């Protein structure tokens, strides 16, 4: 792994450069993943924390991730940079 960072929007590990989002100049962003952040903007700027919780849960369930790990991911979402108000 290149680092142990997690996306500050969805909590996905961004452990490779390929998983990192991009800035408007094409440079990589170290805080957000490619699914949440592209070209310097959130891919879904109107998304709510409730929406994100639903997406994260659904995607993790599709991958047969255990319920305790899913619960942990959902519990950290409100503390991530995108959602802290």
Give the model confidence (pLDDT) of 65-80 as tens digits: 999 999 999 999 999 9
As a whole number of angstroms, the distance between CA 48 and CA 50 comes to 5
pLDDT at 85: 77
**Three-point CA angle 59, 78, 74, nearest 5°:** 30
Question: Domain coordinates of the chain in residue numbers?
Answer: 17-79
pLDDT at 4: 56
The pTM assigned to this predicted structure is 0.87
- pLDDT at residue 25 is higher than 60: yes
């Amino acid at each position: 792994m290149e680092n142990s960072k997690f996306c500050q929007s969805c909590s996905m590990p961004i452990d490779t450069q390929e998983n990192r989002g991009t800035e408007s100049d094409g440079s990589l962003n170290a805080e957000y993943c490619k699914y949440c952040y592209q070209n310097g903007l959130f891919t879904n700027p109107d998304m709510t924390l409730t929406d994100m919780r639903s997406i994260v849960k659904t995607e993790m369930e599709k991958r047969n991730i255990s319920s305790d790990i899913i619960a942990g991911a959902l519990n950290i979402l409100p503390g991530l940079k995108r959602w802290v108000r």
